[in-house]
Amino acid sequence: MKQSLVFQIPEAVAEIFDCLENADFQTVAVGGCVRDALLGNLPHDWDAATAATPEEMKKVLSPFRLIETGLRHGTLTVLNQGMGLEITTFRREGSYGDSRHPDTVTFTRSLEEDLARRDFTVNAMAYSPTEGLVDLFGGQEDLKAGRLRCVGDAKHRFQEDALRMVRAMRFASVLGFSIEKTAADAMNDQRERLSYVAWERIGEEMKKLLCGKNAASVLRNFPMMAGQIFPELLPCMGFEQHNPHHFGTVWEHTLRALEYAVPELPVRLAVLLHDVGKPHCFSLDESGIGHFYGHAHISSQMANEACRRLRLDNALRERVVRLVDLHDGPMIDREKLVRRRLRQLGEEAFFQLLEVQRADTCGLAEPFCRERLPQLAEIEKIAHMVLEQGACLNMNQLAISGRELLALGMEPGPEIGRVLRELLAAVSEGELANEPADLLNFAQQICKIE
């Protein structure tokens, strides 16, 4: 069959399918992998669904190593040739009393019922080597049209599980698809139902949404959904800046900046939140020009709250807060200052900050944007040069450690750390050679002075 060309199911997965099929249990690949394969993309994993109950799966697949991932919900992970395949028993979901969990989940032998419970037509297709493509809801047609359409009545499906509204935005952003009108209307009408959904689940979807190619346009099309998830964005909408650097509102600037931001999560999140503090520190001077003194710091505090609310991990939250806090700092293309920044931030955060500043600059009014971009390019060039030269920018690269300072007669304690930091500062900014003798000499000097 022609479609089998698109579906190059890995050998390790096909073996498991065969095993279940030989025992007379219909087994299919389903959801994201089918969608991605039809789009010509390599699926990142192969999720499978089967008519076998969990107990039947365990029996038939006993030659393989099995992990009981979520057996109660019918999910088993099968390990084969170093690959893990998730298989879930066909399910039918009962009514959703609370907009997030089905009241009952029952297993079924019917693939049709399992596909009918899925969110969007493009996610509700199945494929098996024996049956080919199973597309009961026009998924292929929607895939061709680049359109997200709910399986069944959009309003009802979003009432069942409000997270699907965020998933619609996520897929629209990542796949570059449009959201069909009845679904879009239902989202606008029922956005408040998002309050029934755990923030953590929303956070997971937002992470993917923000890195999608159409993140900015999806947020532009659904500002009220964006505001439901990030209430700190709401005051930015319609907030005029009265400043020649800017045209349009804080929200418009944010969206423009987001359009230009590289698809790296900390950068995208920081850009989304970089100016949320602006409406809270607006002032007009006597010539009618608007200012936002201290907005970066206020924005960073608000970003911190937003990341906590969405249960983002600490490392990501701290990075975003730092990027937002520093986004408005001066852009100085002098080598010594570039070295200092590289040392203070570390290489990864340094370049992310540069990307945040670049996106922010691209969101400015034309002349200011043209003026500042070359400066950022220059900073980037210097940074690469400094790194290529193998500059010493962190403690591990320093030619001596605390041990040598102790040998010099220094007392153990926080003083050692302070001296090492000073040595690193001097070395990284090119004032001192990274040689043990020079370092020890310098260490003695700074200790003596105090």
Among Mg ion, ligand ATP, none, partner that 191 touches (CB below 5 to 8 angstroms by kind): none
- Which C-beta is closer to Mg ion: that of 32 or that of 138? 32
Closest residue to Mg ion in the complex (CB): 32
- What ranges make up the beta strands (E) of 190-321? 283-284, 290-291
Residue 258 and residue 238: Cα distance in Å, rounded?
17
Q: Does residue 132 belong to the site contacting Mg ion (CB under 5 A)?
A: no
Instruction: List the helix and strand counts (H, then E) for the chain.
Output: 21, 13
Residue of the chain from 123, 178, 241, 299 that contacts ligand ATP (CB under 6 A): 123
- How many binding residues for Mg ion (CB under 5 A)? 1
Tokens standing for residue 224: 């009220």
Stretch that binds ligand ATP, among 71-79, 159-167, 248-256, 373-381 (CB under 6 A): 159-167
Residue 132 and residue 126: Cα distance in Å, rounded?
8
- Which C-beta is closer to ligand ATP: that of 161 or that of 180? 161
Residue of the chain from 6, 14, 32, 96 that contacts ligand ATP (CB under 6 A): 32
Considering the complex, what minimum distance in angstroms separates the CB of residue 141 from ligand ATP?
17
Per DSSP, the residues of 115-143 read HHTSSBGGGS-EEETTTEEE-SS-HHHHH
Residue of the chain from 27, 87, 118, 356 that contacts ligand ATP (CB under 6 A): 118
Residue 27 and residue 38: Cα distance in Å, rounded?
19
Considering the complex, what minimum distance in angstroms separates the CB of residue 36 from Mg ion?
9
Residue 11 and residue 9: Cα distance in Å, rounded?
6
- What ranges make up the beta strands (E) of 126-259? 126-128, 132-134, 147-148, 178-179
Residue of the chain from 163, 229, 233, 376 that contacts ligand ATP (CB under 6 A): 163
Residue 50 and residue 24: Cα distance in Å, rounded?
10
Q: How far is CA 270 from CA 257, 302, 306, in A?
A: 11, 11, 11
Q: Does residue 84 belong to the site contacting Mg ion (CB under 5 A)?
A: no
Among ligand ATP, Mg ion, none, partner that 223 touches (CB below 5 to 8 angstroms by kind): none
Stretch that binds ligand ATP, among 72-80, 161-169, 310-318, 343-351 (CB under 6 A): 161-169
Please, which of residues 18-37 interact with Mg ion by CB under 5 A? Answer: 32
Q: Does residue 161 belong to the site contacting ligand ATP (CB under 6 A)?
A: yes
Stretch that binds ligand ATP, among 115-123, 132-140, 259-267, 433-441 (CB under 6 A): 115-123
Tokens standing for residue 192: 């408040």
Residues found near Mg ion in the complex (CB under 5 A): 32
